[in-house]
Structure 1
Amino acid sequence: MDKRPSDIQQTSSFPDPLARISKRKKEERKQVIRLGFPSISTSFGEFPIDTAAEIGCEVIKEFLNSHNETDFELILIEKDTKALNAFDSKWREIKNDLDDLKFQIKNGNLLQTKDEFGIECRFIVAEITWRMKLNTNHLSKQILNAVGSRLPEEVKRLYPNPGIVGEAYPVSIPNDSILHKDEGIEKFHSKKQKSYSKKTYNSMMNAFLELKSGREYHPATTKKENPQVKSAFDILMKSSSQSSTNSSESSLKRPLPKLGGGGWTNVLFPYCQKPETFPKSEVYCYDDESVIIYDKYPKAKKHLLVIPRKRIDNIEELKKQDLELIKKLKEKGQEIIEKMKQENPKLGFRMGFHVIQSLKQLHMHVISQDFISSYLKNKKHWNSFTTEFFKDVEEIEKKLEEQGYIK
C-alpha cells in the first residue's frame, strides 16, 4: 500500500492504484520509466499552493491526453501535506477517466522511492537558481550531498551560462553514486526556480519525453558572451580608472542636496540627512554610517535598501578606499537577512546594486527571491533583478579589491 498523508486516506475517494492491479501487470510495470518531481516552487519559492496545484494538474492532464503511451508514469512525491492535499483534490476534480497509474501522488522522499514504494524513478526534478546553483533547498542539497562535487562541476560544464526562467536542464547522475546504485536514478532535471507557469511543467514534460526515448534534450540558455567583447556591465560602466578616481574624490567635497530639494531622483538624500524624522514604517534602522529603509515599491515580500550616509552617487564613483564601506553595507545586509530568516526560514535573499541607478545616492538592495509583489508589474522590473544589470555585492567587492574601481 502506498504511503499517503493520513488526511488524504481519510477523506479522499482517490484509491491506491497499485492495490487493484494484477501480479502480471505489476511485473510489466517494472519496465515503466518514471518521472518523479516535487511540488515545484511552493516550498523555497513560496508560490501559492492552490494555484500551483491548479496549473500543475491542468498541464499534466493535457500532457497525458496528448501522450497515451503505456511506458511511462508521472509521480508527484512530497512531504508537504498541504501540497499533497491540494494536488490530490484538484486531480480528482479534473482527471476524468485517465488511468490512475499515469499520475500518482505520494507522501515520501523523492530520493528514496525504491526503498519506500518499491519503484524506480529514473528521472527526477529538483530546483536550482538562475545561476545554476544547486544548494537552494532541502531536496537539491540532498542530491548535492549524495553525489558530491562532481555534480555542480557537470552542471557548469553543460550549462556555463545563466538559465532561462521555466526551462529544464537535464544532468546525468554518476553511475557509481548512491542515487544511481541504490535508487536507479539516472538523470535529474534542474528546474530554474522562482517561476511558475504552464511553461514550468511543459519544459519538464518535454525534457522527460526526449530522455525516456533515448534522445538528447537541448534546453534554451542565455547567449554565451564573446570574451573579446565587453559585457553590458563593462560598457555601462564606461568611466576609466582616472575618471572614476576623480569623481570619487569630488564626491567627498559635494554636500548633500537641501532637504526636500532636487526632484524625484534625490528622494534618498533626506533619509541620509535626517533619518530620525521619518516613521518606522519607512526607516528600518540607522546609525552614523548608514541608513536602512524599506523600498517604497518593493519587488518582493522583503525588499530593503542599505544606504551609506557618505555622499556617493552610484557604483561608478566607488574606488578602492571605499572597499571598507561596501563591506560594512554587506554586514548590515547580512544582519537584515538573518532577522528575516528567523521570521521565515524558507526565504532566499540576494544583496547587490543596479548597474544603472534610477535614484541618486548609492544604495544596496536586500531583496528576497520570491518576487511576489503587486509592484512587480512588467518584464523590466523582473529583469532589473534577474539579469546582469543587477550585480551581487561580492562582485563589487572583488572588482574594488582587484582593480580599485568599477568599470
Structure 2
Amino acid sequence: MTSNPSKRRKIVKKFVDEKKQIIRLGFPSISTKFAEFPIDIAADIGCEVIKEFLRLHRGLDFELVMIEQDSKVLNAFELKWKEIKDDLDAFKFQTKNGNLLQLKSDFGIECRFIVAETTWRMKPGTNQLNKQIFDAVGSRLHEELKRLYPNPGVVGEAYPVQIPKDSDLHIDEGIEQIIFVVSPNMNPSRPDPVSLGKAKELLKKTYHSMLNAFWELKIGQEYRPITTKKEKGSAFDILMKSASKSSFKTSAESSKRILPKVGGKGWTNVLLPYCQSPETFPKSEVYYYDDELVIIYDKYPKAKKHLLVIPRKYIDNIEELKKQDLQLVRALKEKGQCVIEKMKQENPKLFFRMGFHAVPGLRQLHMHVISQDFISPSLKHKKHWNSFTTEFFKDAEEIEKILEERGEIKFNKEYYENLLKSPLKCHLCDTKSIKFIPDLKKHLEEHWNES
C-alpha cells in the first residue's frame, strides 16, 4: 500500500465509490472476549449460522464482514469458514484484522450496520468496543437506546439503534445503525454466567438474531426484538397491530376489478373463495384476515410452515402488477414478516423466505411464506422442490425492486418452466448426487436434526 496519505485516501475513496451499492454488516466475534466462550466452538457456531443465512439469501447485494484484533479468534473463524464454505457463498463473508469503527478509513469498506455486544442492562461500557461506540456517539445513543427499549434485554436478542447523522461515526465511516446484541456469558466473575451447553444454545440464537435484524433493516422493515415485558394479547395480534396500516391502493386497472364468479371446482380457482368470504372458513384453514388481505395455510404445504398471503382485491397473477402496485407488494411483505416473526418465536430453528412463483399455477396473486426445512409429506415431485429452490421462486424483495425500476413484471414462461425440470440439488449444502425425491427428503431430515 502506498505510503502517501493523500494518494491512499484517493484509492480508498475510489474503492468505496465502486462498492457503495453493497450493503454490509460489520460485527465482532460474539462472546469470545470477556464472556470467555471457547473460541473454536464459537467459530463453529458462528460460521454455521452465517453459512445458513447466506444460503437463504443468495444473489443479493450484501456482505458480512467480521472484524477482530485477536489473531486466535480470526484464525479459528478463517479455518472453519475454509472448511465449510462453497464458491457461491465465499465472497459474501470476509474477515479483517482491525478496528470495527475504522473499516472505511482503513480498508475502504463501508458498513452501514455494525454489531456491538451488551448485557441485559444495555448500559454503556459493557466492553471495550461498546465503550468506544458510546464515547464516539455521545449520550444521545444511550438515551435513544433506553427510549426504544425501556425494559431489560433478553440474552440472544438483537436491539438496533439508529445513530445521529451528525456523529463522527456516520460522517466519517458511513455507519447508520448499531445492532446491540445481548450475548451469553460464561465468565463466573461477570453477571449471569451460564453453562457451556446453555451458552452454545444462546450463542446460536444471538447470531441468528443479529443476522435477522440486519436483514430486516436492510429491506426496510422494522425489527421487533423480544423484551422481558409481556404485552397483552397474542403475539400475532400484537405484531399485526404494530405493523403499519396498509391501506394499499392497487393500480387504476386492478382497482376496478372485482373477484370473478367462481364457477365449478377448477383447481386454479381454489384461492378465490378465501378472498370473497374468509370468515366462512375454519381457523385450521385461515390464519388471519382483514378488509384488505387474507393469510391461509397452504393446503398441501411443502415445508413445516407454508402459508399464502393474498390480497382480497382481484389481481390474476404477478405479471398484472404495475408500478402503482408497489404499496400492495410492500403491504404483503409487511404482513408476511409478522407471520415469520411469530413462527420464529415458536421455533427458533425455522428460517423463512417469502416470495412469488414466476409462473404461478393458481388464479389470484399470492405470496408464499415458507420455512426452508422443506420437510413435508406433500413434497412429492421434482417440480415441487424446484419451484422453491431455483430462480422459479422470486423473493418479494426482488419483485419490489423490479417494479421500482421497470414498472412491470415480465418473465419468460418457457425458461422458468424448464427450471422445474432441473436436477435435484440440496439448497443447504449443494449435494448433487441426489437422484430421487425420497433420497432428498432423507437428506433434508439429516440437516434438520443437525440444526
TM-score (ref. length: structure 1): 0.48
